[in-house]
Amino acid sequence: MANAIHVYAGTAGHSAWFSEDAGTSWTHPNSHSGMYLEARVWCFATHPQAPNELYAGTDMGLFRWNEVTARWSLIPSPMQDIWALALDPNDPRILFAGTRPAAFYQSIDAGATWTRIVTPGMAEFSEINMGPTRVTQILFDPFEPNTIWASVEIGGLYRSTDRGRIWTFLDRGLVSGDVHGIAVVRKPGQPSTILCTTNRGLHRSTNQGESWTHQPLDSRWQYTRGIAARVDHSGVVFLTNGDGPPGSTGKLLRSRDYGMTWEDARLPGPLNSTPWCVAMNPSDPMRMYCPTNLGQVFASTDGGESWARLPHEFGEVRAFAWRTLPVGMRQQPHSLTLRAPQPA
């Protein structure tokens, strides 16, 4: 059976959009799809062992998409505003979720039941910052199978070394507790390097997060958001950089040496805001997508060496994901489909 590239865009106010042709055309399911059309979608999570399912964290709780029926189902939970999701690489039934105000939750039965994880100091940050904090990313370490990382805006960085039961707060050396993203890279034969992004720049740790070093960028902006290592573990890392959230411009940076030095990846501009994230999938390490905060989308099929801007432009984008699925597995939902204009 032939396969197609399915791409998912989560927006801040126009719910989730879908593409079955690698981003050339997009479908916006209507109100019959099961999710409110003006929902804010903050994050996605998928698992290769569960190809029919896609999880979305939103301002209205947790939803699960069924690829065959093309419908969302609300998963009852104690969570309301969900900003981060991660699925256990070894078991798609095990989910971790991060919320606003910042808190960690775990399910071991595909979302049927949830447990809130006691986390040191988490509640204190809301009091210090006079407003709700939020978990911005949860990441299973690709090299240490029992380690999970989590970033909190505004609240620092956490690590678990027992698959999420106990968490340790790690902020020594951070110039800002406004942490946005995490990546883990490792040169062959050497310890891992942990990279994390903040509103005041990039940080790195070579001792499993026990201490951090601020790494100034050769850029007129130090605001950094998403960071992602290419999934072939080649040492290529991508970092989104701009003049703020949402910002008015920015650039995508690329490192070829595990995050030590950075160069402009040269997205075809001009950019309308800060690039927000880089979406990758192990099924094809060379394919990736990078949206800006205000809706431009760029794609690469050669590992980030070159980029093309996709025709459709969204509103505010907060999440992006893609995967490979068999052609024709989805029933057609009641929807609005937007296609790129064809040349005359």
d(CA 265, CA 13): 29
What's 3-335's CATH class? mainly beta
pLDDT in tens, 47-94: 999 999 999 999 999 999 998 888 999 999 999 999 999 999 999 999
* Mean pLDDT of the region 234-244: 98
- Bridge partners of residue 135, in order along the sequence: 152
Contact 152, 179 (CB under 8 A): yes
- Bridge partners of residue 264, in order along the sequence: 253
d(CA 241, CA 275): 6
Q: What's the mean per-residue pLDDT of the chain?
A: 92
Given this model, what pLDDT does residue 123 score? 58
Given this model, what pLDDT does residue 120 score? 78
d(CA 185, CA 194): 7
Ranges of each domain in the chain: 3-335
116 φ, ψ to 5°? -80, 135
Given this model, what pLDDT does residue 122 score? 74
d(CA 244, CA 246): 6
Query: pLDDT category, 127, cuts 50, 70, 90?
Result: very low
- The pTM is what? 0.93
* Mean pLDDT of the region 237-264: 98
Given this model, what pLDDT does residue 336 score? 44
Contact 49, 72 (CB under 8 A): no
Given this model, what pLDDT does residue 86 score? 98
Contacts of 174 (CB under 8 A, 6+ apart): 156, 157, 196, 198, 203, 212, 214
Burial degree of 196 (CB within 10 A; 0-12, 13-18, 19+)? buried
